[in-house]
Structure 1
Amino acid sequence: MVKNLLTILLVSFVATYSVAQETILKKAPLKSVEPTVNEKFVPLSFESPKTAANYVAVDTMANSFGPGSNTINPLYYDPVSGVVAVVHRGATTYALGSGELWWNWSTDYGTTWTRSETSVQNGQTPILARYPSMAIWNPNASTNMSELFGVFSWPELVGGAFGGLGWGVSEGLLQSSLAAIIQPPPLYSSNAPTFVNANYAFWTSDNQDNASLRLFRTNDFLTIEQIDPPTWASSRFGDNGIIQIGGISDDNNNVYVGSIASFTEDIGAGGWEIGYSKSTDDGATWSDWFIPDWRQISATQDYDRLWDWLIGDAFVSYSGDITVDANGLVHLVTGLTDTSTGTNAIVEFFETAPGVWDAKIIASGTEVHDYSLYDNGADPGLGQTGPSIMIATNQARDFFVAQWTIGSPETGDTICDVYIKTRALSDNAWDNKQNLTQTDNMNENGCHLAQYLATTSSGGTTTDWLFSMYWYEAGNTTYLINQLNRSVVYVATVPVRVVSGVDDGLPLNTFELAQNYPNPFNPSTNIKYSIAERSNVTIKVYDMLGSEVATLVNQVQDAGTHNVVFNASNLASGMYVYTITAGNFTATKKMMLLK
């Protein structure tokens, strides 16, 4: 399994790579056109490999190129409705061509999947999509799938090369409602990540003509606004380059966009840093970039540049992601390198206050090496995604999962597996590393992660679940694949934290109302409660004048421990009370909202 000669050669190269490159390099281009091949049909029942996590075969693609960028978000979970969906390029067994986009959705947490009734383009030609992203927009916070919107964006080939920008929307996640291509100029680049808040759907594109970043937003899909923030101009990135790492919103509908770019700040060697920009008005205006000075943080001060996982070529290859916690503070994940020792680390930068940074090491040393099979040869999606460093959070935004792919550190081999670690917001360190794939001879060197976790409660136990994706040549269980052959999209739903109601201090088989946590809070908090028997439960929130401001629960529930999240983003700071009524049991507690 271990390719000893390749390992020795690459380890030797890493050991001699001790001088930081001072030339500011450009980002690596993604492949736009792949050769035409005959598809190899393998029945789905024979396509699922045996892995540690229960990866389910969702659908097929004509080849392995579709998800081959680590900056897109093809997999999305909506915590409110409980719907998970994935967008992908098609296969001619059901699609007009490999550039036609389809999506699959699941309402049972990824156990079973249904393909959309139409493609995203739905008859629009040409069909030359690459690297699609999606989000589920739920402006009414509905649990009814018919009220959800699937939002899609992608780079579109123009004249055989990147240049166009496609977008589409489905109403109800069943059929495409509308799709269009935004033609150049400017020449749009190869990534267009999608994100949403309660008011708008967004997508962004970095431009090939210069290093600027452009935002698109809409709240009706009839008018698409184009926004060019001054802080996103080419000069802010040294007129050199930008690698988007996605966007996300918080519970106050503020939106954040993360990027790795050749910012004008001079922090590490190589000339590229990681940071984010924030909007408090639904994307109309944007702040300057907040960039952690990681050389001044004790956990990361020994690392002198970002981790370029394809060292020695003419480009930079970086990976990263962004999320936001319950306090509206940003968390960034990426890789760093100490070129004096040839060691790497996957790190989390997180704010302790707006613009004030600290860091935690997620993985380092032998866990993060440079000799994994991230090549541009016969591997899924050309190996363009590299380690695919990504982060997800639960709906309460107080628990995180980091995911990446790398050659197995336990054996020191080059063949990649998919790994995760977890931490709660209050934890001092990342813990519980898990190998999700555990395949001895497959090279899962391309993966994605939904940015939100699912949270379920049953029998007094609360479980957080992640949604992980990878793709592989159909029917192949070796590390040597033909990336031009038909490929399968796999998604696994993995439990990452299980909390017993007893551990929360709520006894089973009794009535109890716990103190909310955190308290004080801004803007969301968790309220746990226990009921001794099946009862009609109501939980209401009142201000100090006795006026009702929210009804959190009003339904019949089974005996056991339950949890509800209270989002007070529309309320003013102050003291509030919450009251539970379950059968003959009532209880009231106070909580403090501090904004």
Structure 2
Amino acid sequence: MISKICGNGILRVVAMIVLYGTVVNGQNARDVVKGNLIQFNDNGAWCWYQDERAVVDKARGRLIVGSDASDNGVGGSPRNGDIDAVIFDLQNRQAERYALMEGGTNFGGCDDHHAPAFLVMPDGRYLAFYAGHNSNNNSYWRFFYTDRWGIEHAFNWNNIPGGTDFRTTYSNLFYLAAEDKLYNIARTYARSPNLMVSTDSGQNWSYGGLLTEPDVSIGYVNGYFKYWSSGVDRIDFVATEHHPRDYNTSIYHGYMKNGQSFKSDGTLLDSDITDKTAPKPADFTLVFGANTRVNGDLMSRCWAIDLAAYDDGTIATIFKARVNDDPNHPSNDPDHAFFYARYDGATWTSTYLGKAGKKMYSSEQDYVGLGALHPNDPEVIFISTPFDPRDDAALGVREILKGVTADHGATWTWTPITQKSVRDNFRPIVPSWDENNTALLWWRGTYLSAQNFDAAVVGIIECNSETVERMHYVDATAANTFLTNGSPLITTGPDANMGAADDRWHERTGFGNGNSVLTSAEVSGENAPVLKTQMIVSEAGTYDVWINFWANPTADWRIKAGLAADRMQLFRQMACKQVEADDHDTALTLTSSGNTFLYQAYLGRVRVAANETLNVYVDDHAIQTGTSGTRIGNTARTWYDGVSYAKVNTAVVSVAEHKKISNEFVLRQNSPNPFKPSTTITYSLPKAAHVTVKVYNLLGREVATLTDQQTPAGTHQVIWNAQSAPSGIYFYKISVGNFSKTKKMILLQ
């Protein structure tokens, strides 16, 4: 049972269940993922009070993902504290990693609070902001220019009027088109959120004011804030009064617009946010109060997790609360629960989602796996939990589950994204994209503290316009696998024994598909040569490509591979998924003795002509995790077992094919956005009506009429060809009787 909290009481509702499971050759599989698991960074994690940690550049087809690296992960101490930006090409599905600040130079090493925030600028550049975890008084930023990040700049908060009394943490980066201003929100003066503002596209920054101030400083800091903005005219936020370990916190909502701050219903609280006086967090609209009872259980010490506002005016948030923890004598290891809350324009209504589990490590009583709202679909959420929300069954580790509601959040249908994982899956995020495309990202591994973890950034990308055929398997043999210079591969073996530590590949029989695998580092550390497996693809088209390797889920087996010799990634079992029955067009051997399973790592996407040769490069990497060069065998071995590829089919898919037409008038975000020189605007009508869609510039002048006619019910599209218009920000507006809606778009000529 789950409970829905209403303004006047609690309504019991039943959670719907979707079953999803898998069996491999009669044995329970491990590390099952629903979708194509992609590794974005082999060493990384993030906190959750910096946004946006990932953004989609729809104009160029890129996904930008930020994280912080640990010396306990891949690469060891040389990567400790690297603040990384990964730019992932959505066409070839390959990643390029950049270090914004190597080794956390100014911050003293690794801390997931150092993860950067990103913004795709109106002119197409990428802006990254990052700060230490109470390390100094600075916020740092860089711009990305075509193929490189520019020089690092710093804003010293001690130079604001009156200076600051607390070191800086977090970056939250937004652009408001109506003001043509950039905002970065950081925790600094008064241990509270402060604003820095730029009116010249980020070249210069000035102090923008104090968003909230405390009634009294209690414990560590004065409030935790999650932010959201559509990029048009306001920034929404949800907040607590203090840190939940120091205070019995509630959740509040407000927003800032035109230099002022407001409650949810538009009540003005601060007429000038540019100074150092401000409302208190508790002055804003109460979303969920501490000491609320749900189904007889006492909820206390809440913490905000995610926030989003939608086209229909709905605002939603996910938060967590302690369960049955004495507010006056709090536990050091309390139970937690997830909640979802939705604002309909008049009232906040909250729904219990399920158990969130215990703390993630000893010194942080309120750290849980967190969750994410889908920013383009108000009916979808994701959570990371060690308990199945369908029946409260213990899952052993934190798994990612997808929730879908058909009744505005009152009930949820749950489907596992990850299942039977060996490592935890933490802190999912979903960057804003569009209704037909979703990127779900999280990090997976072992989390000892914010300063010490062994994790990889992974995720899945779903595109409604794509269908991927079943995979075709190609075994790696002496006939198709060579050294990179074309020389024949001469292995030791073949035999059923482990290969000697001789820096050569060994053909071990009795395992794998084709009854053998190519192995390295089975006994001790080796450095075998790079291999190239070649295959002829008979049919022209676009193909996804994977490398197959065997692994023991309790060890750290791995493989290094890529579609080019200089673009290989290290893939460890913990960041990969097991191959499942029916994935391929022929049956494969998926399990073997010694608790070994066939795993798969995604290499990317290629376009090939008919009968073209496809090359895949493969290497071992017997370097102990957490070191930069210590060789180790056995637990870090490589068992290579061939390549898989699958054809990707793309079709133009209408909104109506993937989502029911709304029973209301709906105006959707244009696509692509930013765009050059044309873009498509989609809208839906529940009934026939006279429709006008017009385009305006920043001054409010009409520049184009895209339609002005009677239109039947259904989903429709209009195209604006802006070839003769200058670059800049434009607004498009639909008018249907008494209904009107306006959205922003960006033209890049």
Q: Same fold (TM over 0.5)?
A: yes
- Following superposition of structure 1 onto structure 2, how do residues 385-400 of structure 1 map, counting pairs within 5 Å? 385-394=367-376, 399-400=378-379
Deviation at 1:325, TM superposition (A): 1.6
CA contact (8 A) 2:424 2:444 kept: no
Is it true that 1:450 corresponds to 2:440 in the alignment? no
Of the three residues 296, 299, 306, the one matched with 1:305 is 299
Question: C-alpha separation between the residues in 2 aligned to 1:126 and 1:163?
Answer: 8
Q: 1:163 to 1:504 in 2, by over 3 A?
A: closer
How far did residue 73 of structure 1 move?
3.7
Whole-Å Cα distance in 2 between the matches of residues 528 and 488 of structure 1? Answer: 40
- Structure-2 residue corresponding to 1:169: 142
Q: What pairs with 1:274-423 in structure 2 (closer than 5 Å)?
A: 274-281=251-258, 285-286=272-273, 288=279, 289-292=283-286, 294=288, 304-306=298-300, 318-337=303-322, 339=324, 345-353=337-345, 356-361=346-351, 363-364=353-354, 368-371=355-358, 374-376=360-362, 385-394=367-376, 399-409=378-388, 411-423=393-405
Give the Cα separation in 2 of the matches to 1:238 and 1:345. Answer: 24
Query: Would you say the 8 A contact 2:320–2:356 is kept in 1?
Result: no
Q: Counterpart of 1:76?
A: 54
Work out the CA distance in 1 between the residues paired with 2:118 and 2:185. 13
Taking a change above 3 Å as real, the CA distance of residues 205 and 594 of structure 1, as seen in their structure-2 partners, is: closer
Q: State the shift of 1:499 in Å.
A: 8.2
Contact 2:34 2:418 in 1 (8 A): yes
Please give the per-residue CA displacement for 1:259-312, whole angstroms capped at 9, x wherever unaligned: 22249xxxxx9531112332212689448553325369999696643356xxxx
Q: Distance in 2 between matches of 1:329 and 1:76?
A: 23
Secondary structure class of the residue paired with 1:233? coil
Q: Distance in 1 between matches of 2:191 and 2:448?
A: 36
1:431 aligns with 2:421: no
* Whole-angstrom CA distance in 1 between matches of 2:371 and 2:342: 15
SS at match of 1:501: helix
What letter corresponds to residue 434 of structure 1 in structure 2? T
Distance 1:415 1:451 in 2: 25
1:154 paired residue among 131, 142, 160: 131
Whole-angstrom distance in 2 between the partners of 1:298 and 1:526: 42
Which 5+ residue runs of structure 1 have no aligned equivalent? Answer: 1-47, 141-146, 264-268, 309-317, 457-463, 474-478, 507-515, 530-538, 554-559, 578-589
Tell me the secondary structure at the aligned position of residue 215 of structure 2. helix
1:60 corresponds, among 35, 42, 48, to 42
Residue 102 in structure 1 maps to residue 254 in structure 2:
no
Q: Name 2:117's counterpart in structure 1.
A: 134
Q: CA deviation at 1:435?
A: 2.0
Find the partner of 1:489 among 457, 461, 481: 457
- Return closer, same or farther for 1:162/1:276 CA change in 2, 3 Å cut-off: farther
The amino acid that maps onto 2:257 is: T
1:360, 1:249 → 2: CA distance? 22
Mean Cα deviation higher: 269-278 or 234-243: 234-243
Q: 1 CA distance for matches of 2:76 and 2:255?
A: 41
Name the TM-score, length of structure 1 as normaliser. 0.61
Higher relative contact order (CA 8 A, sep 6+): 1
Conserved in 1, the CA contact under 8 Å of 2:399 and 2:424? yes
- 2:65 equivalent in structure 1: 86
TM-aligned CA deviation for residue 337 of structure 1: 4.6
Q: 1:252 & 1:74 partners in 2: Cα distance?
A: 16
Distance (Å, rounded) in 2 between the aligned partners of 1:327 and 1:561: 16
Counterpart-to-counterpart distance in 1, 2:317 and 2:154: 31
State the distance in 2 between where 1:482 and 1:235 align: 29
Confirm or deny: 8 A CA contact 1:304 1:338 kept in the other structure.
Answer: yes
Residue 204 of structure 1 deviates from its aligned partner by 2.1
Q: What is the distance in 2 between the residues matched to 1:503 and 1:523? A: 16
**Aligned amino acid, residue 576 of structure 1:** S
Contact kept, 8 Å, 1:421 with 1:430, in 2: the verdict is no
Cα distance in 2 for residues equivalent to 1:392 and 1:519: 21
Q: Does 1:468 align with 2:620?
A: no
Residues 50 and 302 from structure 1, CA distance in 2 versus in 1: closer, same or farther, beyond 3 angstroms? closer
Structure 1's 487 and 591: CA in aligned 2 closer, same or farther, altered over 3 A?
Answer: same
Name the CA shift for 1:293/1:454 in 2 (closer, same or farther; >3 Å). Answer: closer
- Percent of residue pairs bearing the same amino acid type: 9
Question: Counterpart amino acid of 1:501?
Answer: A
Distance 1:277 1:594 in 2: 22
In 1, the alpha carbon distance for the partners of 2:290 and 2:450 equals 45
User: Residue 527 of structure 1 corresponds to which residue in structure 2?
Assistant: 683
1:120 paired with 2:100, answer: yes
The answer to whether residue 735 in structure 2 is matched with residue 576 in structure 1 is yes
Q: Report the 3-state secondary structure (helix = DSSP H, G, I; strand = E; otherwise coil) of the residue aligned with 1:232.
A: coil
Q: Is the 8 A contact 1:88 1:132 kept in 2?
A: yes
CA distance in 1, matches of 2:317, 2:660: 33
User: Match for residue 213 of structure 1?
Assistant: 193
Residue in 2 that maps onto 1:592:
739
For the aligned residues, what is the CA RMSD? Answer: 4.9
Q: How far has the Cα of 1:406 moved from its partner?
A: 1.5
1:132 partner amino acid = A
Once structures 1 and 2 are overlaid, which stretch shifts more, 211-220 or 494-503?
494-503
The number of aligned residues is 447
Q: In structure 1, how many angstroms separate the alpha carbons of the residues matched to 2:411 and 2:154?
A: 42
Shift of residue 190, structure 1, vs aligned partner = 3.9
Instruction: Return the match for 1:197 from 152, 176, 179.
Output: 176
Distance of 2:450 and 2:738 partners within structure 1: 58
Distance 1:94 1:283 in 2: 47
Would you say the 8 A contact 2:214–2:241 is kept in 1?
Answer: no
Is 2:249 the counterpart of 1:272? yes
Q: How far off is 1:438 after superposition?
A: 0.9
Partner Cα separation in structure 2 for residue 468 and residue 296 of structure 1: 31
Separation in 1 of the partners of 2:369 and 2:459?
18
CA contact (8 A) 2:176 2:233 kept: yes
Q: Is the 8 A contact 1:472 1:489 kept in 2?
A: no
Secondary structure at the aligned position of 2:457 is classed as strand
Contact 1:541 1:548 survives alignment (8 Å): no
Contact kept? 2:240, 2:249, Cα under 8 Å: yes
TM-score by length of 2: 0.50
Whether contact under 8 Å (1:527, 1:565) holds in the other structure is no
Judged with a 3 Å threshold, the aligned counterparts in structure 2 of structure 1 residues 236 and 569 are, in CA distance, closer, same or farther, namely farther
Q: Determine the C-alpha separation between the residues in 2 that align with 1:495 and 1:236.
A: 49
Distance 2:116 2:104 in 1: 18
Query: Hey, what's the Cα distance between the residues in 2 that align with 1:336 and 1:442?
Result: 24
Amino acid at match of 1:227: G
Alpha-carbon distance between aligned partners in 2 of 1:437 and 1:121, rounded to the nearest angstrom? 32
Question: Is the CA contact 2:138–2:155 (under 8 Å) kept in the aligned structure 1?
Answer: yes
Deviations 1:91-140 (A, max 9, x none): 79599642332211123179322223xx3248995464642131223325
Counterparts of 1:56 and 1:244 in 2: how far apart (Å)?
31
Aligned to 2:476: none
- Give the structure with higher Rg (CA): 2
Q: 1:451 to 1:110 in 2, by over 3 A?
A: farther
Rounded to whole Å, the distance in 2 between the matches of 1:106 and 1:70 is 21
SS of the aligned residue for 1:99 comes to coil
Match of 1:37 in 2: none
- Counterpart residue identity of residue 490, structure 1: V
Q: How far is the alpha carbon of 1:334 from its aligned partner? A: 0.7
